[in-house]
Amino acid sequence: MMLASVSMVSSYVLQPLGGGGSCTARAGAARLPSPCLQADEGPLASVQSAFSIYQRSQAEGMDFKQSVADALAGEYDRDAITAEVKAAAEANPLVLFTWESSPACKKALKLLAETGATPTIVRLDDPWSEGNVRRAALGRLTGKSSVPSIWIGGEYIGGCDDGPSDDAPGLVPLAFRGALFDKLQAAGALPGAGKGAGEAAGKVVPTGAPAPEPAPTPTAPDTSA
């Protein structure tokens, strides 16, 4: 796309005027509108907007990855999207926000499969237009914008190999501490663990459906008579 754009305007060369930011065209066969006059329209406008958001994010003290995530997300209702991702993270015992092609996401899913847990997966790359916004909001919410973003029992535990804090160290460190299995079980993320109507006897029950009634406990016959 870039090569095509350059070839189309080969006779149109931008030069600075007096060292300033203005642009002019060297004489040529073709006369095209100056990109400087189109700065508020078309592709240049989106680039300028993204760069402005990146600079604003940096000024707020965000790290490079979060600033890039903010720039890709563009302008959005931060409160509304943050509430949306929190609701999604808390909706099931084990939730992963992922990219399908991410090696770290694939690794996390493989490790969780070893525990017998079946996570709810929220794709951030399908579509990208929505996922980029959610990723930016997740990054600001958790302190880590990379994927996967793993939540157990509505609590953020980090990514696959690491996390932003000791309370959210990541999936692998949590497993090495011997705390992962207990955390999954307490959240009702393991078969048979049960948590409300989410799971019962290892079988997934649709959300909102009543939990099965427990089997009655057998009692010894009354022989006192």
Q: What is the pLDDT along the chain (225 residues), one digit of tens a residue?
A: 433 433 333 333 333 434 444 444 444 444 444 444 344 567 788 899 999 999 999 999 999 999 999 999 999 999 999 999 999 999 999 999 999 999 999 999 999 999 999 999 999 999 999 999 999 999 999 999 999 999 999 999 999 999 999 999 999 999 999 999 999 999 999 987 654 433 333 333 333 344 445 455 555 555 555
Residue 138 sits in the same domain as residue 181: yes
Residue 71 sits in the same domain as residue 83: no
Range of the domain at 182: 77-192
Q: Which residue has the tokens 């060292």?
A: 19
Domain tally, the chain? 2
Residue 69 sits in the same domain as residue 83: no
Residue 88 sits in the same domain as residue 172: yes
Residue 88 sits in the same domain as residue 182: yes
Q: How many CA atoms lie within 13 A of 110 on its CB side?
A: 7
| Domain membership flag for residue 42 | yes
pTM score:
0.69
| Domain membership flag for residue 225 | no
C-alpha–C-alpha distance, residues 75 and 56, integer Å = 12
Ranges of beta strands (E only) in 146-185 are: 149-152, 155-158
Residue 96 sits in the same domain as residue 42: no
| Domain membership flag for residue 23 | no
Virtual CA dihedral for 18, 52, 148, 106, nearest 10 degrees? -40
**Residue 120 · residue 91 · CB < 8 Å:** yes
* Helix, strand or coil, per DSSP, at residue 173: helix
| Domain membership flag for residue 11 | no
Q: What is the DSSP letter of 211?
A: P
Structure-block tokens of residue 121: 């997966």
